[in-house]
Amino acid sequence: MSRGPIDDRPPRTVVVADDRPPEVLTGYLAPYRQDELFVIAPVAYDEWGLEGLHEHYLRFDRESNVQWHLKLRGPVDRIVNVRVAPPEKHAAMLRGLLFHLGPGGEYAIPRAALTAYPAGNRLETLLRRLGDGLAHGHDAVPTAARELAHATAEVRLDRDWIRVRKSGRHYLKLSDRWANRMLASRRSATTVRELQRVPAGTFASGTTIVSHGASKTLGGLKTTVDTPPLHLRHYQGRIGLVSNALTFTENEILPDSFRHHLAADLTNPRLVDVGKSFARLDRQVVPTDELHGSYYLLDSENSGHFGHLMTEVVSRLWGWDRAKQDAPDLRAIFRIRYPHERDPWLERLVFSAFGIRPEDITWVDRPVYLESMYGATPMFHNSAPHYVHPEIRAVWERIRDGLRDDSAPSWDRIFVSRRDTLGNRRCLNREEVEDYFSAAGFEVIYPEDYGLATQAAIFSRARVVAGFGGSAMFNTLFADRLEDMIVLSQQAYTARNEVLISLPLDVRLHYFWNRPDVQHPPGGWSRAAYKSSWTFDFAQHREQLDRVIRAG
């Protein structure tokens, strides 16, 4: 099967082998001596005659090594898997390796590499299903093999070889840790340059956390957290920007796309996931327009949501000044999910308060290509492993000072309530809770009744802030004299924003946990439980809550 290379360089061929007599592998290498050739095998032999300029040996000791070598050098034009193994093993390897091929690439298995081929074996079944997908459409294939069928353009079987030709483009999901190295070594026209790197460290906060009423051990409540390296990067090339912070190159999904960039499984709602390492894009999200100039990415997976803006987006601002020095014409860019969705006044207000001039703020309402983009690792990670970087407090203070409202009311103690109309995590005895805190000397407020500048001033002056867990409490990041935070919540709400906000502030944080109306399934997680209504349990908590308030 002949085909052209992915670009104007020689085809990139990878031969995956086990430790076999050197003359056997030499025969398999012969057809590809004009290619850029990589041999992945446990042992190298001089008899192979590999010429170092365009022929390379890569050692592997375990299965993950093969994936790693391909990630560093993909997408490739051809994979020839000559490992001697039963059909079941080759079926598994085909599932794992096919997505490393570029569009039109070829995956080949010599029949001699199969130790047996009984009727109905897994490789035969898989190849038959891929053929069914080509003949009758992807829906004709069982779900477990559907993405592999989507990636298959042709299956050819003859006496000596099994060949599968790749269809479509699959994008490698780049982790924040390895993005620099992989973009430098892969077949990518996008370049990356690191402007600044904040080293990894351990942040031991002065905050104390006390949990009241939890019926089980709850995660994410630590006061000492490990912070990963933070990178400020400049990408140049043809960078796609879609909604929900999705950014991509011709073959990679950039790490700035992932809200929880340290998760084992990197996800974005605009991607069609193909396992943990790869994804594909639906045609409707591919840009047709291009923006010239340099842009600094300020977007989130949930664009337009106040809580996500104040945590995920604000936590990327730390690199703006350095990037602006590097590119004086730099503009901040964020994405409205669809045309005419809303006026992005809130983002403009926050960015302007930080010090970004209004004329340096751009928003788009459609997918676009950028030729130059700057991105920063967030300082805030609300998922395991949870972390917040202590230097984020300087960002919060800068926004607070830029939102200055000297006419705002001032209360020493405030209770941040949540109206029933907001739906999620409704406290069913809200009025009783409000009456309790009002009688204890707290001013009951609804933040949405005030402009953001007034909210910032109110929270900056409060000494004690209590409230229902959720985004209404996020304004505590503006605190200047806070001593105590009191959070009322239900146990199925697993977000830890209040914890992460409290750590740079060195405060006393008290959680009062309650039973949700909907529980997570045993050993699992459900959105219904996460958003469940609940009732504050005065019978369980009143005595301890009285004690906390008197001490505050």
Same domain, 458 and 412: yes
Contact indicator for 79, 101 with CB cutoff of 8 Å: yes
- Give domain status of residue 41, yes or no: yes
Same domain, 292 and 308: yes
Residue 460: predicted pLDDT: 97
Gap between the Cα atoms of 190 and 4, Å rounded: 21
Buried/exposed 33-62: b ≥16 CB within 10 Å, e otherwise: eebbbbbbbeebbeebebeeeebbebebee
Residue 34: predicted pLDDT: 93
Confidence bin at 136 (pLDDT 50/70/90): confident
Q: Hey, what long-range contacts does 38-45 have (CB within 8 A, 24 or more apart)? A: 38/12, 38/13, 38/14, 38/69, 38/73, 38/76, 39/14, 39/15, 40/14, 40/15, 40/16, 40/65, 40/66, 40/69, 41/15, 41/16, 41/17, 42/18, 43/19
Query: Smallest Cα–Cα separation from 317: which of 269, 287, 360?
Result: 360
Confidence bin at 100 (pLDDT 50/70/90): very high
- Give domain status of residue 206, yes or no: no
How many residues are given for the chain? 552
Same domain, 323 and 425: no
Number of domains forming the structure of the chain: 3
Compute the average pLDDT of residues 255-267.
95
Compute the average pLDDT of residues 45-51.
90
Res 291 pLDDT > 70: yes
Q: What is the mean pLDDT of the chain?
A: 94
Res 8 pLDDT > 80: no
Compute the average pLDDT of residues 175-196.
95
> Is 445 exposed, middle or buried, given 0-12, 13-18 or 19+ CB atoms closer than 10 A?
buried
Q: Identity (one letter) of the amino acid at 293?
A: G
Gap between the Cα atoms of 188 and 517, Å rounded: 50
Compute the average pLDDT of residues 10-28.
93
Compute the average pLDDT of residues 450-461.
97
Residue 7: predicted pLDDT: 56
Same domain, 278 and 423: no
Same domain, 191 and 320: yes
Compute the average pLDDT of residues 255-277.
94
Look up the domain containing 86 and give its range: 12-166
Gap between the Cα atoms of 70 and 76, Å rounded: 8
pLDDT tens digit sequence for 114-134: 998 888 899 999 999 998 888
Residue 204: predicted pLDDT: 98
- Give domain status of residue 387, yes or no: no
- Give domain status of residue 104, yes or no: yes
For residue 513, give every residue at least 6 positions away whose Cβ sits within 8 Å of its Cβ, in sequence order, or none. Answer: 211, 212, 213, 214, 215, 218, 489, 490, 491
pLDDT tens digit sequence for 409-421: 999 999 999 998 7
Same domain, 175 and 312: yes
* Domain limit, last residue, from 381, 412, 441: 381
Same domain, 265 and 184: yes
pLDDT tens digit sequence for 470-524: 988 999 999 999 999 999 999 999 999 999 999 999 999 999 999 999 999 998 9
Same domain, 179 and 162: no
Q: How far is CA 495 from the centre of its chain?
A: 16
Phi and psi of 505, rounded to 5°? -95, -15
Same domain, 150 and 32: yes
Confidence bin at 53 (pLDDT 50/70/90): confident
Compute the average pLDDT of residues 325-342.
89
DSSP-derived secondary structure letter, 115: S
Residue 2: predicted pLDDT: 37
